């Protein structure tokens, strides 16, 4: 049996090879997702037997974090969709993007995205899931920004990245809270503590944080604007990321955690309300668009809202509806996105208002579009019909949920209209002229959508092919308990059938009046003026103004001001904490302090000499006096080796600094007024007082000699050295010492570069 880790690792390791082959537009790149699809199909017998595959590998045991992976019905459904639709998209892209720039990078990132998605849906540890979750945000940012020379591409990529990453940060906080409450980050263990976690006082905060992350990823209103704007990416990206996979990751997270929070009132309220709002928002926005990709993008928002709403409804039927709708949407939406790309590629436009009669020149594409559209509209014998009826049945079974049923009706009507726009508006009616001579594309571009459309028909006619092996196990994982459900297309003459007929009738009427409706909706300026997209622009402008104001306030250009503020902050924090926590205490000095007092006087005199110095040379010499006084303190405290080291270093430092100062071109001294000097004096005195009180308070505490004893006892047998200071620096603090050496080395290199630049500048002036 193929291990889960092997499949995930293969998906990542194959990225360079796919990038190399993709740069040459070889269709063989589709073999990688196809092999992964075949590998995951090997897990189907395990699910049919009612079992779950778990793999755990040690990763960060000190934090209780394992690299754990889980294959159950839900994760396997997502994995098969990711790899199956990935096969179609990779094959399609090999022809669609032939001759495009940066292909090697594109296919490498696309493969890494696929691998990240697989890692996210297969992870059985929340920390591992977060890692893959953020990788999907990063790779999608690179894919949306495929053409960085275009301003709209840069803006859309940035918008999608910022929104999804912000949601990811909220989700990270939720992961930390949930791990703290459950005592583990294992998803399997968390699902086993559902009642305890849901009853915990922090459950509302956890729900809100996870919902924020999922809503941002799955484009729930009002965070939906990035999804439609991401349509600036190439069509393969739109078909893969933004219809079938990445935007479903938030849905996956909510479905995975639904067994834990399904009975919590806040969970139900958040998911049903935001899901319903998203359905209505997407339906309205889809009706005012003519760009085929944006129309499909807004219909995707409708579908994502439907999935979130279904997850929020408790019950076995809702769990089945979620899985069926998830699979159906992935099949027909990826198919129709590819069709939209084919139309754009072969005609030179994707503006539906200018297209018509393409079936005469593109008969095969027209047939594929019709199959996908019929499934999207929910007509029998397509599997979309079963999904639509389950949505209605779930709403009707929920007591007092007529509002949700009405919203679902509006959403499904919009689906019928969008399906008609793609399949009827573009391919039937009078033949319109196009920028390019329209014709059917080659096999590579058509193979994927043909298979996806055919599967929608096949699964509708023979639902038992996926019912027991995939749908029921996935629904059971979503419900958190084994389900007994038999998927069938025909349920008889029921209220759901009546609603389906009403949906089709209203969809036909709306489509026939779509031109007028679209113009009226497009004329409502407030939708654009006060919508989330403009809110995002205003937020970014506000952040820029805030940053500019902070820069003017903080970045004064004076090192003296920076140091003064830093010292004030440190001194205030230390002093307030010392007093507030009762740590202020003075030691009792039993021994004679005559040498220490004498050294303190020397230090004070040296400090005053520095302040009174009129030039750099005098200041450096006075600073050296401070260093020598500190060396005397080491000597009187019984550390002669430190004292002699300090003497040597101080003398060498004075010589080097005098040599440097002698070669530096000094400007006029900075003028400082008397109030400025007074302020600096008070800052220095305050930080000195706080530091002195802190050190005295430390001396007042009982001396803990455990560390000293440890060093004395272990220096010879373990470090083979008798000089404790050297042993500590070289052995016990070796990494710290190495870091200090690196810092000093980098500083020396920087100083050398500055001096070399000054030398070149002088030479150029002479020339």
- Answer yes or no: is pLDDT of 222 > 80: yes
- Answer yes or no: is pLDDT of 1 > 60: no
pLDDT reported for residue 665: 65
Residue 348 DSSP class: S
Q: What would the pLDDT profile of 733-762 be if each residue is shown by its tens digit?
A: 888 888 889 998 998 898 888 888 888 887
Ordered by start, the domain boundaries in the chain are 146-530, 531-555, 704-767
Tokens representing 391 are 């949505």
Residue pair 407/291 in contact by the 8 Å Cβ criterion: no
Pick 734 or 179 by higher pLDDT. Answer: 179
pLDDT reported for residue 305: 95
Reported as a pLDDT band with limits 50, 70 and 90, residue 476 is very high
As a whole number of angstroms, the distance between CA 522 and CA 539 comes to 24
The DSSP line for 427-484 is: TSSS----SS------HHHHHHHHHHHHHHHHHHH-THHHIIIIIHHHHHHHHTS---
As a whole number of angstroms, the distance between CA 751 and CA 186 comes to 51
pLDDT reported for residue 399: 61
Among 8-17, 230-239, 467-476, 599-608, the range of highest mean pLDDT: 8-17
As a whole number of angstroms, the distance between CA 658 and CA 649 comes to 14
As a whole number of angstroms, the distance between CA 695 and CA 498 comes to 82
Using DSSP, state whether 288 is helix, strand or coil: coil
Q: Based on the number of CB atoms within 10 Å of its own CB, is 404 exposed (0-12), middle (13-18) or buried (19 or more)?
A: buried
Q: What would the pLDDT profile of 52-81 be if each residue is shown by its tens digit?
A: 999 999 888 877 788 999 999 999 999 999
Q: 3-state SS of 727-764?
A: HHHHHHCHHHHHHHHHHHHHHHHHHHHHHHHHHHHHHH
pLDDT reported for residue 208: 97
Mean pLDDT of the chain: 89
Reported as a pLDDT band with limits 50, 70 and 90, residue 702 is confident
Q: Based on the number of CB atoms within 10 Å of its own CB, is 653 exposed (0-12), middle (13-18) or buried (19 or more)?
A: middle
Q: What would the pLDDT profile of 193-209 be if each residue is shown by its tens digit?
A: 999 999 999 999 999 99
Average pLDDT for residues 446-463, to the nearest whole number? 93
Q: What would the pLDDT profile of 97-125 be if each residue is shown by its tens digit?
A: 998 899 999 999 999 999 999 999 999 99
Average pLDDT for residues 27-50, to the nearest whole number? 92
pLDDT reported for residue 244: 61
Percent of the chain past pLDDT 70, that is, above it, reads 97
Residue pair 423/369 in contact by the 8 Å Cβ criterion: yes
pLDDT reported for residue 243: 64
- Answer yes or no: is pLDDT of 601 > 90: no
Question: Of 266-275, 450-459, 568-577, which gets the smallest average pLDDT?
Answer: 568-577
Phi first, then psi: what are they for 65, rounded to 5°?
-110, 120
Residue pair 70/188 in contact by the 8 Å Cβ criterion: yes
Tokens representing 40 are 């995951």
Nearest residue to 155 via CA among 547, 527, 537, 532:
537
Long-range CB contacts for residues 644-651, cutoff 8 Å, separation at least 24: 650/624, 651/624
- Answer yes or no: is pLDDT of 592 > 90: no
Reported as a pLDDT band with limits 50, 70 and 90, residue 541 is very high
Reported as a pLDDT band with limits 50, 70 and 90, residue 609 is confident
pLDDT reported for residue 82: 95
Reported as a pLDDT band with limits 50, 70 and 90, residue 28 is very high
Reported as a pLDDT band with limits 50, 70 and 90, residue 599 is confident
pLDDT reported for residue 212: 96
Average pLDDT for residues 74-90, to the nearest whole number? 95
Reported as a pLDDT band with limits 50, 70 and 90, residue 260 is very high
> Which positions ≥6 away from 327 have C-beta within 8 Å?
77, 81, 383, 459, 466, 470, 471
As a whole number of angstroms, the distance between CA 242 and CA 705 comes to 62
Using DSSP, state whether 420 is helix, strand or coil: helix
- Answer yes or no: is pLDDT of 666 > 70: no
pLDDT reported for residue 627: 83
Long-range CB contacts for residues 656-664, cutoff 8 Å, separation at least 24: 657/620, 658/617, 658/620, 661/616, 661/617, 661/620, 663/755
As a whole number of angstroms, the distance between CA 347 and CA 435 comes to 6
Average pLDDT for residues 600-621, to the nearest whole number? 81
Q: What would the pLDDT profile of 383-436 be if each residue is shown by its tens digit?
A: 999 999 999 998 888 765 688 899 999 999 999 999 999 999 999 988 888 888
Tokens representing 606 are 């040296």
Tokens representing 206 are 């956890």
> Which positions ≥6 away from 198 have C-beta within 8 Å?
260, 261, 263, 264
Average pLDDT for residues 132-141, to the nearest whole number? 95
Q: 3-state SS of 132-183?
A: HHHHHHHHHHHHHCCCCCCHHHHHHHHHHHHHHHHHHHHHHHHHHHHHHHHC
């Amino acid at each position: 049996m193929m291990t889960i880790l092997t499949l995930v690792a293969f998906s990542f390791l194959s990225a360079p090879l796919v990038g190399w082959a993709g740069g040459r537009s070889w269709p063989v790149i589709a073999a990688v997702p196809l092999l992964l699809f075949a590998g995951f199909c090997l897990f189907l017998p395990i699910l049919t037997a009612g079992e779950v595959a778990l793999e755990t590998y040690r990763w960060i045991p000190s934090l209780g974090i394992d690299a754990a992976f889980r294959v159950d019905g839900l994760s396997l459904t997502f994995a098969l969709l990711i790899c199956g639709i990935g096969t179609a998209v990779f094959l399609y892209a090999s022809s669609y993007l032939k001759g495009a720039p940066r292909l090697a990078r594109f296919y490498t990132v696309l493969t890494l995205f696929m691998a990240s998605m697989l890692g996210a849906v297969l992870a059985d540890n929340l920390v591992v899931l977060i890692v893959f979750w953020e990788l999907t945000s990063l790779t999608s940012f690179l894919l949306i920004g495929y053409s960085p020379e275009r301003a709209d591409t840069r803006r859309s990529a940035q918008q999608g990245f910022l929104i999804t990453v912000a949601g990811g940060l909220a989700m990270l906080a939720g992961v930390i809270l949930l791990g703290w409450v459950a005592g583990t980050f294992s998803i399997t263990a968390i699902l086993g503590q559902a009642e305890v976690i849901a009853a915990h006082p922090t459950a509302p905060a956890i729900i809100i944080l996870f919902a924020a992350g999922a809503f941002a990823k799955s484009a729930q209103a009002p965070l939906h604007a990035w999804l439609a704007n991401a349509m600036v990416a190439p069509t393969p990206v739109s078909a893969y990321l933004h219809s079938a996979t990445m935007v479903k990751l938030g849905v996956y997270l909510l479905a995975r955690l639904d067994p834990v929070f399904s009975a919590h009132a806040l969970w139900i309220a958040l998911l049903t309300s935001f899901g319903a709002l998203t359905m209505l928002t997407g339906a309205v926005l889809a009706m005012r668009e003519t760009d085929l990709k944006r129309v499909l993008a807004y219909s995707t928002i409708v579908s994502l809202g439907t999935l979130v709403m279904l997850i929020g409804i408790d019950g076995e039927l809702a769990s089945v509806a979620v899985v069926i709708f998830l699979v159906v949407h992935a099949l027909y939406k990826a198919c129709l996105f590819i069709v939209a790309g084919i139309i754009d590629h072969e005609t030179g436009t994707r503006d539906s208002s200018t297209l018509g009669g393409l079936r005469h020149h593109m008969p095969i594409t027209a047939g594929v579009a019709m199959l996908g559209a019929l499934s999207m509209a929910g007509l029998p014998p397509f599997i979309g019909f079963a999904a639509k009826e389950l949505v209605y049945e779930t709403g009707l079974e929920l007591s007092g949920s007529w509002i949700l049923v009405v919203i679902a009706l509006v959403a499904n009507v919009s689906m019928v209209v969008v399906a008609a726009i793609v399949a009827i508006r573009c391919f039937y009616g009078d033949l319109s002229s196009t920028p390019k001579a329209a014709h059917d594309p080659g096999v590579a571009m058509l193979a994927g959508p043909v298979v996806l459309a055919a599967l929608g028909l096949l699964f509708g006619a023979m639902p038992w092919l996926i019912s027991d092996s995939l749908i029921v196990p996935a629904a059971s994982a979503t419900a958190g308990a084994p389900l007994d459900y038999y998927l069938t297309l025909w349920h008889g003459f029921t209220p759901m059938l009546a609603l389906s007929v009403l949906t089709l009738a209203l969809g036909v009427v709306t489509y026939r009046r779509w031109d007028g409706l679209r113009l009226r909706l497009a004329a409502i300026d407030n939708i654009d003026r006060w919508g989330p997209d403009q809110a995002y622009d205003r937020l970014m402008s506000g952040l820029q103004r805030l940053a500019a104001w902070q820069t003017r306030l903080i970045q004064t250009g004076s090192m003296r001001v920076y140091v003064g503020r830093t010292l004030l902050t440190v001194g205030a924090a230390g002093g307030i904490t010392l007093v507030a926590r009762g740590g202020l205490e003075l030691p009792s000095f039993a021994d004679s302090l005559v040498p220490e007092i004498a050294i303190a006087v020397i230090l004070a005199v040296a400090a005053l000499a520095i302040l009174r110095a009129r030039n750099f040379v005098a200041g450096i010499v006075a600073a050296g006096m401070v260093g020598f006084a500190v060396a005397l303190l080491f000597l009187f405290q019984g550390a002669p080796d430190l004292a002699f080291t300090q003497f040597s270093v101080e003398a060498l430092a004075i010589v080097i600094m005098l040599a440097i100062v002698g070669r530096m071109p000094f400007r006029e001294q900075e003028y400082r007024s008397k109030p400025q000097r007074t302020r600096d004096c008070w800052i220095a005195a305050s930080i000195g007082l706080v530091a002195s009180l802190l050190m005295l308070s430390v001396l007042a505490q009982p001396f803990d000699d455990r560390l000293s004893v440890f060093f004395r006892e272990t220096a010879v047998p373990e470090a083979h050295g008798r000089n404790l200071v050297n042993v500590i620096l070289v052995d016990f603090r070796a990494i710290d010492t190495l870091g200090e050496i690196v810092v000093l080395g980098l500083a020396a290199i920087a100083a050398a570069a500055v001096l070399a630049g000054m030398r070149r500048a002088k030479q150029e002036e002479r020339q």
